[in-house]
Every structure is written in C-alpha cells, then in structure tokens.
Amino acid sequence: MVRVSTTFIAKGCERRPNVVACSKRVAVLAFASAGDICIAQLPVYFVEHDAYVFEARSPSRIVSTNVAHERSITCLKFVKWIDEPSGYRDIDYVIAGSADGLISVWTVATDETTTAQCSLFSKHLAKGGSAITYCAGAVQSEVSTSSTSSLMTAYSVPDGTVHVRWKDLKESSLEVDENEAAISFAPDFALCFDFHLISSG
C-alpha cells in the first residue's frame, strides 16, 4: 500500500514559491523576507516512532532574523542528508540564493531545550553574478562515526547552467578541498533538481 502524507504546506513568500522551507531535523521553518532569512521554531507536540509531530494550532515564533543578502532572496532550501540515521538532530544547513548571484549556506543549530540559532557557514558569488533561480544541497555523513564528511550545493542561473560545488569537511578546517563543476541545459533552463547517491556497493 502506498502512503502519502503532508510534511508542510506554505504559501509563497514575497510572491516567490521557493523561499520557504521546513526542517524536521531541527523543528524549524525558514522563510525569506526581502534579503533576510527568518527562522521560526515549531512547537514539538509529541514523538512517535522517532518522528516528531508538530502541533499545527500552537503558535510558532520567529527566533532568528538574519540579514543574509543585500538583494531579494530568490530560493531557500534545507539540505538533504545522506547516509545518516533519521530523526531529530541538533544541526541542519539551509541554502539561500539571491537576485545578485550570492549563494550562502547557514547552519541552524538547536536541541529540544534551547532556541534555534542561525549562523553563516559559507558564501560565494555565482560566476558572472547572475541571479540564482534555484538551489539545493546535500550532506553526506559517516554513519559509523556520525561525523559530517562532505557538503554539496547546487544552484542554477538564467542562462541554463547548473553549478555544483562540494567541499570535504575536515576536523581542522571547514574550507578544505572545495571544487565546482557545471552543466548547461541551454537554451532551456532547470526548474528544479535534487541530489541522489548512487552506489555500486
């Protein structure tokens, strides 16, 4: 039997459908207001089978507002976690892209007893400074050690190019081994994309 359930429903902010995202890992909702990222903490109602259920009638509260970009944010998305046990964790990453071509990655850290904190992890300017039309990301972690090993981000620009960046996350530095590749869909352009891990093992 196929089971379909709703994770969350959001009305597009700033007349853009891609600037609101929900993280079940840290129980927050992120949305953009012009160039700001707002973080609203969701009240956890109860836990059932390692799944956190949020009380829809309880008022969420904005716990963090960050001046992320000088121009309007055009896309906002939490990363996908690969090779990592499901359930509530104390950290997540959210990616934001803006009209001036800036890509930023933010960490959202929390636990069951403290308020969510949002801080800048990394940022870079898209080649040519083109507006970002869509973004996505993934984190691959080692299940055996529960340590994060790599962060991958992807973004598209109006000329039909999708850029993919990845960096290995070492204990000594978070800025090690950064690489980038690009693929062109011109004259078409990418509406959306996601990360999937394909293994031969």
> Does residue 47 register a pLDDT over 70?
no
Lowest mean pLDDT among 7-16, 21-30, 68-77, 90-99: 7-16
pLDDT digits (tens, 9 = 90+) for 148-162: 578 888 999 988 899
pTM exceeding 0.85: no
What is the pLDDT, as a whole number, of residue 8?
Answer: 59
pLDDT digits (tens, 9 = 90+) for 80-129: 887 665 554 678 888 988 888 988 888 888 765 567 777 888 888 887 77
What is the pLDDT, as a whole number, of residue 191?
Answer: 81
The pair of three-digit structure tokens given for residue 192, joined into one six-digit string: 């959306």
Backbone φ and ψ for 192, nearest 5 degrees, come out as -160, 160
Supply the DSSP symbol for 198. -
What is the pLDDT, as a whole number, of residue 92?
Answer: 86
Of 46, 41, 141, 35, the closest CA to residue 98 belongs to 35
What is the pLDDT, as a whole number, of residue 201?
Answer: 54
**Which residues of the chain form beta strands (DSSP E)?**
20-23, 28-33, 36-41, 44-48, 51-54, 61-67, 73-78, 80-82, 91-98, 102-109, 117-125, 134-142, 147-156, 161-168, 176-184
Mean pLDDT of 60-69: 63
Q: 4, exposed or middle or buried, with CB in 10 Å at 0-12, 13-18, 19+?
A: exposed
- What does the domain layout of the chain look like in residue ranges? 20-184
Share of the chain above pLDDT 90, in %: 2
Strands 80-82, 134-142: pairing is: parallel
Strands 91-98, 73-78: pairing is: antiparallel
| Residues 163, 157: Cα–Cα separation, whole Å | 8
- On average, the pLDDT of the chain sits at 73
- Top-confidence residue, 19 or 114: 19
